[in-house]
Structure 1
């Protein structure tokens, strides 16, 4: 029996927006094992200059990431889509163990199988140091509240 992760391709604008929000919610959980289940067992990633293959490597990668990127909060926004691909832009805020805050900006290209599992993820990301007073994401850890502004609303 195969796994299914709705919404599944072919994507419409509404289903692509839903897929992006579900991905954002998953990453904001900061639970590597749960997040890994959105990806196929043999999913291939490029994240910055790091290459990851398969769920176990995804779990290891995300564990390292969230041990380093503290108080992580993410917003994703749909950029473009077709029947089985989605492009997003995103920004997330976090601080390191010295208390230095960052806003990390990036773009991702995603490809999905027929079951809605992501088979490929290509991410390009840049980190900008920010003052704590310049943070824009102040919701409690976890899912971004429905009424919270998105990237475009925040001018990002």
Structure 2
């Protein structure tokens, strides 16, 4: 099955889960290859362009966000665009290793070859306790029930 546009419901959902799995590797050199060489990003208040800036950004991100676990869900799609809702949890190495969860939305625009050429992300971090964590060690992030109040 091709994961290049134009997307169907099946291929858009598969593309989202492939992105989720790739980001969960926390390997910036590998993750950047899913984007075009001149990919444009807005990640919260950061504006990036190209593989070098993406890799540097992700390296710094995962130096800060330890024990990172991410889940993405398809929100909407068109021929070459996908919108996702996501949640991830991490320990903040810049804040006494406190557990945090980020809630957010992304919109993605794809090139014809299936690599992402534009990514915009908005997210908010919330401090959580150990007991409030969803994505504990060994859990399948796709199997965790996330209630409607968190959607």
Do the structures match in fold with TM over 0.5?
A: yes
RCO higher in structure (CA 8 A, sep ≥6): 1
**Distance in 2 between residues matched to 1:147 and 1:124, nearest whole Å:** 21
2:4 partner SS: coil
TM-score (norm 1): 0.89
Q: Which runs of 5+ in 1 are unaligned?
A: 1-5
- Aligned pair partner of 2:108 in 104, 107, 110: 110
Pair 1:147–1:94, CA change in 2 (3 A): closer
Q: Which residue of 2 aligns with 1:119?
A: 117
Cα root mean square deviation, aligned: 1.3
Q: TM-score, normalised by structure 2?
A: 0.92
Secondary structure at the residue paired with 1:37? helix
User: Residue 96 of structure 1: CA displacement?
Assistant: 1.3
1:68-87 alignment runs, 5 A limit:
68-87=64-83
The one of 21, 38, 45 equivalent to 1:42 is 38
| SS at 1:29 equivalent | coil
- Deviation string 1:24-65 (CA, Å, 9 cap, x unpaired) is 000000000000000000000000000010011100000000
Paired residues in the alignment total 145
